[in-house]
Structure 1
């Protein structure tokens, strides 16, 4: 991965530039040696792409990818740059990675989590919207007008909805899905969007690998443990059962009593006569996102600024030439503005037909899909071939003799033989490590509001290495002994391992 000792100094400079958002420094280093885009740190195998994605520097992410960085590169935990961007909610970075055709279905080595799990556990609904963009087809305008009901589940056309359902319901370690995570942490917007994307409201966690408290539990059990009333209401409205028993023989009502969620008891009672509100489709559905994302992959990230008087200028940005048109109203936009509108719009679904259509910024007409304008210059993004490894001479490169196996948990054979054995993690990389899910131990009564920033800070909290092993064990014990709502999913072993492998990013983000 380009970790020759002679180029490690330049590689660390690129890491610092990617971490700090220094675009000029990063471009200078990559112009001098494009191989540095494939550099990775010796400890956690984090590449400059991981640092830039975790910090949200989308321009540097694009620069690294254009210079040959592997969009699907993994660190020693098996986490990709897409997972880091979804963890911290940097949807602009997620957009850039998707344009370069990253693999959204990959799971990490520790707990089998995908980017969708990382986005759901921290409540980043726009990242969820992007992660499923290639699974939700943009319906043709004619077929939308011909439909009598507005349910997006009828827009199958050439796409198989089973692929979307399989991805959304993919289980991590212990059988925990993205819906379980969002429900536990009380992120109503994420729960509503996942349910609209065919998340299974009746799925249960595995009968092994979790604590004895919540084995075989449904998302409703998790929502009750989190204590969010609105999450419980929408789950019940979408078909969740109050009479569902987990493997411990507990109803959701029993979970509410044990966790002190007394305000949920009237709603969860088997004989409850409370009226459940009717929830519309999520405001974060985006039907035209797939079409404009595919067009942006053809035009590239940098649309050329128009210089001709004859070219139509985008009426939104007034800078770039129009390259796409909204099917239906026919208004023309540049691909960047169309992509931005699809990602940021969250207009109430009742105003638009069908649900998931995006209002046109010029006439407020519902947009379901975008089409390319004829005669536009297409510049398809072609990923460069894998660059050669760094050699002692930084000005002369040689072709790589053998291809690297992407996604292998082992230390790659191309690394220097003189590297210290300390880079090997003492714990084995099990794709499905054991999970412990204790009941929430938040302070008495109400569970505090779960803020995504707090969850991000907890997962990325810095752990500096101490000089003696006793002090390190003391710090680890203090950290692992405190159970919070954001750390209820994974075992102590996986939780500690992830902090060790991500310590490089965590320290620098403090």
Structure 2
């Protein structure tokens, strides 16, 4: 797309402008040739949208999308602009991509990671909150502390079965290569806010990685998030996992307990907590501060009304009391205070209100009266500027190939309009593919996302041959303690290093 000889030079200029944040240059090029928005580089197949999203240039992202850029375009590794924005934590870009109805379910070619995995591995909790916005209905939040004890057991229960069939549970618990979930990633790197949000979004605390081994053998195949948290060394992550039903007695395929993993990686401060006979009190954790129940409702309104070009207030319209610039287009349910859609969306995307307050968990305090807002409604007479995309961009290729799921989608479209209210999740569980959305077998080529130099050599010959055993000598622990006490942000903890060069080829263009 857009790679003919006639537009190659102009396309490279647009790529440079998107990378450097030169809005004037980008607008001039797109005014002369709007087709340049679909340009992609010859090496990594990165589009200008990938560059602008990775660098956080939100205005250029909106400009490219308005000029016809494919919001779901993939690079050589199958990564979308949403994945790049989540990788680097640019939540405003994520917000813009969601307004243009990007596909959050898509997974990359190499490892089957979704945008939620990219956000979790780097601790970008705001991006995670936005990515799951279409899955969390605007309804009163049921605290995870009210779940039955049967959810914490290995047996089947009606509550657990119901959660497994929900669209939210399927998305949050989607496993990448080796069975790695977003909860494994956040627990390993010690991002407590991400772990807490994922658990409140019904992440499976007992999910185990697959039994076939890759470089996950450093922790052990078949490990639970508690094993990964023990390796990461974050005390609060271990505590909340135990509070939400994790077991100290879970054995991975190597026969290791979470306690054994903590000892192997030198996390000795976790031993009193992870000992199977531990009697240490586990604190009760309130719901996450990053829950945002009204986000889905205001996001749908913003898609209809438009956000980038909200009309200014006229003499007959009420002016937003927050920005004092735009006309009010939404009203908060309950207190009925009116705001413009831009301020309401910004409020829902950035709020980090303590859960111990008097407002219901997951609600957002009204900026005018501090009343807890659970959802927003569109004011009558608000202008409509719906962003329409081709139908083919709404689903990944394998979803279109399943006749049963196409039939379910068509039947859902003929249902009553009451199904489209804010209090019903806008994403159906039938939209999920039974196979990984990838044209290649995702287990063939593992993945590493090291962006800051080469991967640490965990397989070096200097390692003690007995260090993989929980009963290795103290000298072996001291030998590797310098490496293991560092923050384990390298993705070689999840996948092998064979494909480092493949993904670095794509990332080198962006980081040039």
TM over 0.5: yes
| 1:382 aligned counterpart, secondary structure | coil
1:442 and 1:343 map into 2 onto residues whose CA distance is: 41
Q: Does 1:304 align with 2:310?
A: yes
Asked if 1 retains the 8 angstrom alpha-carbon contact of 2:56 and 2:90, the reply is: yes
1:188 and 1:219 map into 2 onto residues whose CA distance is: 12
Q: Does 1:196 align with 2:200?
A: yes
> What corresponds to 1:251 in structure 2?
257
Query: Displacement, 1:69?
Result: 0.4
CA offsets per residue over residues 134-162 of structure 1, 9 Å max, x none? 000002xxxx5xx9x756999xxxx9971
Query: Displacement, 1:383?
Result: 3.3
| 1:385–1:64 Cα change, 3 Å | farther
Q: 1:380 aligns with which of 377, 381, 386?
A: 386
Asked if 2 retains the 8 angstrom alpha-carbon contact of 1:82 and 1:115, the reply is: yes
> What corresponds to 1:181 in structure 2?
185
Q: 1:162 aligns with which of 154, 159, 166?
A: 166
| 1:304–1:253 Cα change, 3 Å | closer
| 1:449–1:503 Cα change, 3 Å | closer
CA offsets per residue over residues 34-75 of structure 1, 9 Å max, x none? 100000000110000000000001111111011100000000
> What corresponds to 1:322 in structure 2?
328
Q: Does 1:230 align with 2:236?
A: yes
> What corresponds to 1:111 in structure 2?
111
1:278 and 1:71 map into 2 onto residues whose CA distance is: 41
Query: Displacement, 1:260?
Result: 1.0
Asked if 2 retains the 8 angstrom alpha-carbon contact of 1:2 and 1:40, the reply is: yes
| 2:499 aligned counterpart, secondary structure | helix
| 2:503 aligned counterpart, secondary structure | helix
Q: Does 1:218 align with 2:224?
A: yes
Asked if 1 retains the 8 angstrom alpha-carbon contact of 2:303 and 2:387, the reply is: yes
> What corresponds to 2:42 in structure 1?
42
Q: Does 1:433 align with 2:444?
A: yes
Q: Does 1:30 align with 2:30?
A: yes
Query: Displacement, 1:295?
Result: 0.3
Query: Displacement, 1:435?
Result: 4.8
Query: Displacement, 1:433?
Result: 3.2
Structure 1: tracts of 5 or more residues without a match: 387-402, 409-427, 456-484
| 2:166 aligned counterpart, secondary structure | helix
CA offsets per residue over residues 361-418 of structure 1, 9 Å max, x none? 11110000000001111111123799xxxxxxxxxxxxxxxx9x9779xxxxxxxxxx
Query: Displacement, 1:352?
Result: 4.1
CA offsets per residue over residues 248-291 of structure 1, 9 Å max, x none? 00111111111111100000011111111110000000000000
1:133 and 1:161 map into 2 onto residues whose CA distance is: 18
CA offsets per residue over residues 104-140 of structure 1, 9 Å max, x none? 010001111000000000000001001100000002x
Query: Displacement, 1:503?
Result: 1.8
1:406 and 1:282 map into 2 onto residues whose CA distance is: 31
Asked if 1 retains the 8 angstrom alpha-carbon contact of 2:265 and 2:484, the reply is: no
Q: Does 1:493 align with 2:495?
A: no
Asked if 2 retains the 8 angstrom alpha-carbon contact of 1:15 and 1:48, the reply is: yes
> What corresponds to 1:422 in structure 2?
none
> What corresponds to 1:208 in structure 2?
212
Q: 2:376 aligns with which of 343, 363, 370?
A: 370
Q: 2:245 aligns with which of 239, 250, 261?
A: 239
CA offsets per residue over residues 281-309 of structure 1, 9 Å max, x none? 00000000000000000011234343522
1:293 and 1:234 map into 2 onto residues whose CA distance is: 30
| 1:406–1:166 Cα change, 3 Å | closer
Query: Displacement, 1:353?
Result: 3.6
Q: 1:335 aligns with which of 336, 341, 345?
A: 341
1:248 and 1:207 map into 2 onto residues whose CA distance is: 10
Asked if 1 retains the 8 angstrom alpha-carbon contact of 2:40 and 2:47, the reply is: yes
Number of aligned pairs? 427
Give the 5 Å matches for 1:65-80.
65-80=65-80
> What corresponds to 1:89 in structure 2?
89
1:328 and 1:192 map into 2 onto residues whose CA distance is: 28
Structure 2: tracts of 5 or more residues without a match: 148-162, 399-438, 449-457, 459-467, 469-476
1:225 and 1:375 map into 2 onto residues whose CA distance is: 55
TM-score when scaled to structure 2? 0.79
> What corresponds to 1:504 in structure 2?
509
| 1:501–1:442 Cα change, 3 Å | farther
2:171 and 2:127 map into 1 onto residues whose CA distance is: 15
> What corresponds to 2:278 in structure 1?
272
1:58 and 1:372 map into 2 onto residues whose CA distance is: 25
> What corresponds to 2:129 in structure 1?
129
| 1:7 aligned counterpart, secondary structure | helix
> What corresponds to 1:444 in structure 2?
482
Q: Does 1:286 align with 2:297?
A: no
> What corresponds to 2:418 in structure 1?
none
| 1:225–1:345 Cα change, 3 Å | same
1:209 and 1:436 map into 2 onto residues whose CA distance is: 14
1:278 and 1:328 map into 2 onto residues whose CA distance is: 30
RMSD of aligned C-alpha atoms? 2.6
Q: Does 1:354 align with 2:365?
A: no
TM-score when scaled to structure 1? 0.79
